[in-house]
Amino acid sequence: MSYLKIDHVDKSFQRGAATTEVLKDINLVIDKGEYVSIIGHSGCGKSTLLNIIAGLTPVSKGAVLLEDKEVSEPGPERAVVFQNHSLLPWLSVYDNVALAVNKVFGRTKSRAERHDWIMHNLDLVQMGHASDKRPAEISGGMKQRVGIARGLSMQPKILLLDEPFGALDALTRAHLQDSVMQIHAALGNTMIMITHDVDEAVLLSDRIVMMTNGPSARIGEVLQVDLARPRKRLELVSDRSYIAAREAVLKFLYERHRFVEAA
């Protein structure tokens, strides 16, 4: 049985009389516990695909099935870590996570259990020390950590990450990638990540979904990354299968599906 199934999904946007087809015939099956990256040039519709899985954007044709149930609206079982963290600036770090925890577990967990769960998730991303800070008082990397903690705290079936490290500097990004790998190893979450960074995709993923350029973007290739976990970025630099995987993605992106407008 497939865990998440994206079944013949088309998506087109209509503006007045003009129709733009963004995604065309997307088929993808994702297993439980898998880490899947979706990579492609900007504008190819990968964020649209993530929003469809999240339920934030309705499909035009086809369906998304999670455990054989059709996804039609957003919900906490498909938590999203947004590109720009999307923390609520008037709430403290703790309260941002608490908003999610109280909503999802308000009936099933006691007050003390919820508090412990909030702190547990903040500690998981090493943000327990800053629980009473407001988003404006912490750095971009820390905000994204809190965003991940909020996503994890909903105990989602799938965690959707929309270019989670896109706005961060290289060093902070590496730290956060390591954190996400540790969390994935410890919790075994199913994760789908949008990225435009080849190294990031190869380092983190079990499979890399490569998308062709839009309009009417399709899944061009799916690459299996057979690297043993835990993965260490320094050891991988000279690893042959790592280099091969990296080369395959680069060739797809820059040889066969060059970004036309940027060329």
Partner 1 sequence: MSITSIEAIERSNGMGQAVLKEADAKIVALPAAKAQVVSLPQAAGKPLMARILPWLRPILQNVVPPLITVALILLFWQIAASGPQSSLPPPTKIWDEAKDLITEPFYWAGTQDIGLGWRILVSLQRVAIGFGLAAIAGVLVGALIGQSIWAMRGLDPVFQVLRTVPPLAWLPLSLAAFRDSQPSAIFVIFITAIWPVIINTAVGIRNIPQDYRNVAQVLRLNQVEFFFKIMVPSAAPYIFTGLRIGVGLSWLAIVAAEMLTGGVGIGFFIWDAWNSSRLSDIIVALIYIGVVGFILDRLVAFIGTVVTRGTVVN
Q: Shortest distance, CB of residue 100 to partner 1, whole angstroms?
A: 6
Among the listed residues 11, 24, 41, 78, the single contact to partner 1 using CB under 8 A: 78
Q: Round to whole Å and give the CA distance between 223 and 202.
A: 9
Q: Shortest distance, CB of residue 189 to partner 1, whole angstroms?
A: 16
Instruction: Give residues 96-115 in contact with partner 1 (rule: CB under 8 A).
Output: 99-100, 103-104
Q: Does 122 bind partner 1 (CB under 8 A)?
A: no
Q: Does 29 bind partner 1 (CB under 8 A)?
A: no
Q: Shortest distance, CB of residue 262 to partner 1, whole angstroms?
A: 26
DSSP string, 64-115: EEETTEE--S--TTEEEE-TT----TTS-HHHHHHHHHHHHHTTTS-HHHHH
Can you tell me which residue has the tokens 């990004």?
Answer: 173
Q: Does 13 bind partner 1 (CB under 8 A)?
A: no
- Which whole-number Å values give the CA distances from 214 to 44, 59, 155, in the listed order? 5, 17, 33
Span near partner 1 by CB under 8 A; candidates 54-62, 109-117, 123-131, 221-229? 54-62
Among the listed residues 19, 27, 84, 182, the single contact to partner 1 using CB under 8 A: 84
Q: Does 72 bind partner 1 (CB under 8 A)?
A: no
Q: Round to whole Å and give the CA distance between 230 and 182.
A: 8
Instruction: Give residues 134-173 in contact with partner 1 (rule: CB under 8 A).
Output: 134-136, 154
Q: Does 79 bind partner 1 (CB under 8 A)?
A: yes
Span near partner 1 by CB under 8 A; candidates 49-57, 120-128, 203-211, 234-242? 49-57
Q: Does 117 bind partner 1 (CB under 8 A)?
A: no
Q: Does 174 bind partner 1 (CB under 8 A)?
A: no
Sheet holding 190-195, edge to edge: 78-81, 158-162, 190-195, 35-39, 207-211, 219-224
> Is residue 113 within 8 Å of 121, Cβ to Cβ?
no
Bridge partners, 194 (sequence order): 38, 162
Can you tell me which residue has the tokens 């629980």?
Answer: 131
- The Cβ of residue 170 has, within 10 Å, a number of other Cβ atoms equal to 9
Among the listed residues 43, 56, 62, 218, the single contact to partner 1 using CB under 8 A: 56
In the bound state with partner 1, the residue whose beta carbon lies nearer, of 51 and 177, is 51
DSSP state of 239: -
Residues near partner 1 (CB under 8 A): 54-56, 73-76, 78-80, 82, 84, 86, 88-91, 99-100, 103-104, 134-136, 154
